[in-house]
Structure 1
Amino acid sequence: MKLSELEFYLEDFLAYCQNKNLSRKTISSYEQSLKLFIVYLKKEHDIDKVKEVRTGHIRQYINYVQDRGKYTVVSRESTKNINFPENRTDFKKQVSSITINNYIRNIKVLFNWLRQEGELQKNPVDNISQIKTVRRQKKGISKEEFNNLIEYFDYTKFHGYRNKVVVLLLQVTGMRIGECLELEVDAIDFKNKMILVTKTKGNKERYVYFSNVMQRELKQYLKFKDRYIDTQLLFPTTKGTNLTIQSFEKQLKDVGKKAGIDVHPHQIRNNFARHYLLNGGDFYTLSHSWS
C-alpha cells in the first residue's frame, strides 16, 4: 500500500535515527507514538500532508489522548481484533502526564527535524509546551526488604536464578536495567572486577565495578547458564534470545508481590546511589558515572 506523505516522512525520520545510532528503545518510542499521532491526524482531521499540520492540531491531539484514556488510540484498527485492548484492566484509564510529555517531546523532535530538512517554513511545534507534571518519588527499599526480595526468587529455575543475579548486579553497579539486559559475557573482566557497558543511554561506553561477593555469584551463575543455554548474552531468555525490559519488570513485580514489596528496577538503581553516598562517595563522581 502506498504511504501517505506523513508516513513517508516518518519512515525517513526513523531511518535518520538509525543512521545516528540512536538506541532501539528511543527509536521504538518515536515510531509508536508518532504513528498514533499520524493516525489521529488522518482520522479526525483528514490530514496526511506535513504542511497541513497546525499548532492547534497538536494541542487538540494532546486533549484527545487525555480525554479518551489508555489504549483508545491504535495505529491499526485490525490489531483490536488481536490484542483486545478493551479487555485490559487499565483500558480508558487516564494517561499519565509523563507519558503525554513523552508524546509531545517526540512530536517536537519530528517537526524540528522536518524544519531542519527544509520541509517546513513554519514549525507547528514552536508554541507547544509540555504539560505540568508531578513526579511521585517511589519509596526506597530497605536492606531488610531487599534481602527478603532476594529470598523469593526461585533459584531452581533458570529464569528465577537469572533474575536474582540481575537484581544483585543492579544493586552493586547502579546500571540501568536496559544496559544490564544488553550485556554479553565477554564484557566481564573478572581479573579487575569490572564490566564494560556499551549499550548506554548516551552511547558513551563506561566501566562499572563489582565486589568479590558479586564476582563469585557471577561465576556460579555462568556455570549454571552454560549448562542450559549456548549464547553470549549474559541474561538471555530460556530460548537464548534477548530478555526485554518489560518482561523483566513484570517478573520482578510478580516476585515483589510475593515478598510484599512494590518494586521497580529503578528503585534498585537508586539504592546503589544512596549506599554510595552514605558510604562516603562524592556526588560529582556519582553523577558522571550515571550520565
Structure 2
Amino acid sequence: MKNINILLDEFMIYCESKNLSKKTMMSYEQTLKLFFKYLYEKENIMDASKVSEKLIREYINYIKERGKYTVVSNKNSLKTNTPEVRTDYGKKVSITTINNYIRNIKVFFNYLKEQNYIKKDIVKSIKQFKNERKPKDFISDEQFSELLRHIDTTKFHEYRDYICIQLILDTGMRISECLAIQVLDVDINYRSILLPAENTKGKRDRYVYFSQIMQKNLRRWLQYKDRYVESDYLFCSSGGKPLLIRTFEAKLRGYGKRIGLKEICPHQLRNNFSKRFLMAGGNIYTLSKILGHSSVKVTEQAYLDLTDADIRKNYQQFSPLMNLRNKR
C-alpha cells in the first residue's frame, strides 16, 4: 500500500529540493490535503494506486458544487479562522481557483508516475477549464496623483509608504521583493536595485531599474530614514524592523479609501506598471525580464489585456503612415 499522506511528505521534500517558493509549496499542500480528505471520507481511500481519473473528475465536480470556505483539511482551524463570517462564505468557487486545484493535483500525480509509485498516467486527459480573463483594474494618472497628494509625508510611516508606492509603480516589483530590499542592494548612481534570488519568486537574481525622478526621491528618503531609524532595510518600521506585507497592504487600502478607491492593492501597482510599459512602446520580451517571469508566455497571459481604447491610443503613436509623414 502506497499511503497517500506519506507520498505527500516525499513530494513536499522534492518541491523543497527544487527551491520552489513557500507560496507555491503551500498551495500544493493545501490543495492535496483537501483532496485526500475527500478521498478518505467519500471513498475510504488512502492508497495512491487506487486513485483513478474518474475519482479526480468527481472531486472537481464536487469543488464546483460546494461553497467557498465550507471545507477545511483541519476542523480545528475553524475556531480561529471563523470562515463563516466572511462576506463570500458559501459562494461559488471561481474557475481560477478550480484551475489551480487541477494544476496542483496534476503536478502531484505526474510526480508519482515519474517516481514509479503509480503505473498509469491518470491526469493526462484532465484539462483546466477555459476562463475568460477580465482586464485588470487600471489606476489613471489623475487617481495616482490624487492618491499621492493624500499621503501625509510629514509622518515617518506615510512618507515611507509614499516612496514605496512610487517605487513599485516605477519598477514593477512584487511587494514581497520590494519590502525585502536592503539599502546595500540599491545603486543610486546607476539607478538599479539588485533583487537577490532568495527574495524573488523565480529564485534567481534579478535587477530592476528606476527613473531619474525616483532616483531623487530615494536619495531624499534615505537621508530622512537615516536621521531617525537605524535599519539595513530600505523600507522598515519606525523601530527599524522589516515592514510586513499585510501591514503595507492595509495602509495602501486606507490611502485608497481617502480618495474613494474601494479596492487597491500592491499587485495593482505592478499591473499598472506593466500596462503603462506596453502602452509607452515597451516590448513584451523586455517586460517579461523586468517582471521576473519564467517565460514570455506567462507575461502574455497575465498582462496582454489592453482594451480597444488602449489599442487605439497606442496605434496613434506607431502609425507607419504618420511616422513617414513626420520624417519628410
TM-score category (smaller protein): 0.7 to 0.9
Aligned to 2:171: 173
The 2-side partners of 1:187 and 1:126 are apart by: 44
Cα shift readout 1:186-239 (whole Å, capped 9, x = no counterpart): 211112110012333333322111123212322333445456665433334567
1:96 correspondence with 2:133: no
1:150 aligned to 2:151? no
Confirm whether residue 206 of structure 1 aligns to residue 206 of structure 2.
yes
Bigger drift between 76-85 and 162-171 goes to: 162-171
After TM superposition, the structure 1 = structure 2 runs for residues 28-177 of structure 1, keeping only pairs within 5 Å, are: 28-177=26-175
Percentage of identical aligned residues: 46
- Distance in 2 between residues matched to 1:156 and 1:193, nearest whole Å: 26
Matched to 1:109, the amino acid is V
> Is the CA contact (8 Å cut-off) linking 1:253 and 1:263 kept in structure 2?
yes
Matched residue SS, 1:77: coil
Counterpart residue type for residue 210 of structure 2: F
Amino acid at match of 2:205: E
Give SS of 1:136's match: coil
The equivalent residue for 1:233 is: 233
* Letter of the 1:205 counterpart: D
In the alignment, what sits opposite 2:260?
A: 260
8 A Cα contact 1:235 1:243, kept in partner: no
Q: Note the alpha carbon deviations across 1:149-170, whole angstroms, 9 max, x for none.
A: 2233344555433332221111
> Which runs of no fewer than 5 residues in structure 2 stay unpaired?
294-328
Please, which moves more after superposition, 90-99 or 152-161?
152-161
Distance 1:229 1:117 in 2: 52
Following superposition, the deviation at residue 145 of structure 1 comes to: 0.5
Instruction: Indicate which of 12, 23, 26 corresponds to 1:25.
Output: 23
CA drift at 1:101: 0.6
- Cα distance change of structure 1 residues 120 and 174 upon mapping to structure 2, 3 Å threshold: same
Q: TM-score, normalised by structure 2?
A: 0.78
Does the Cα contact within 8 Å between 1:6 and 1:49 map onto a contact in 2? yes
Counterpart Cα distance in 2 of 1:213 and 1:274: 20
Aligned alpha-carbon RMSD (Å) = 2.4
Using structure 1 for the length normalisation, give the TM-score: 0.87
Q: Which residue is equivalent to 1:271?
A: 272
In the other structure, the counterpart of 2:314 is: none
User: Structure 2 vs 1, CA of residues 136 and 278 (structure 1 numbering), >3 Å: closer, same or farther?
Assistant: closer
Partner of 1:196: helix, strand, or coil? strand
- Shift of the alpha carbon at 1:12? 1.4
Count of residue pairs the alignment pairs up = 287
Contact 2:179–2:242, Cα closer than 8 Å, also in 1: no
Q: Is the 8 A contact 1:165 1:221 kept in 2?
A: yes
Distance in 2 between residues matched to 1:268 and 1:252, nearest whole Å: 11
Question: 1:183: which partner in 2?
Answer: 181
* Partners of 2:176 and 2:105 in 1: CA distance: 24
The residue identity in structure 2 corresponding to 1:268 is L
Q: Aligned partners of 1:60 and 1:140: how far apart in 2?
A: 38
Rg larger in 1 or in 2?
Answer: 2
SS at match of 1:267: helix
CA deviation string 1:40-79 (max 9, x = no partner):
2222222222112111222222222222211111121111
Using the alignment, how far apart are the partners of 2:178 and 2:136 within structure 1?
21
- Residues 1:123 and 1:218: Cα distance change in structure 2 (over 3 Å): same
Q: Name the stretch that deviates more: 29-38 or 227-236.
A: 227-236
Structure 1 residues 83 and 201: alpha-carbon distance in aligned structure 2, compared to 1, 3 A threshold: closer
Q: How far 1:14 sits from its partner (Å)? A: 1.3
Gapped regions of structure 1 (runs ≥ 5): none
1:60 and 1:256 map into 2 onto residues whose CA distance is 42
SS in 2 for 1:207: strand
In the alignment, the residues of structure 2 paired with residue 63 and residue 285 of structure 1 have an alpha-carbon distance, to the nearest angstrom, of 40
Counterparts of 2:53 and 2:91 in 1: how far apart (Å)?
Answer: 26
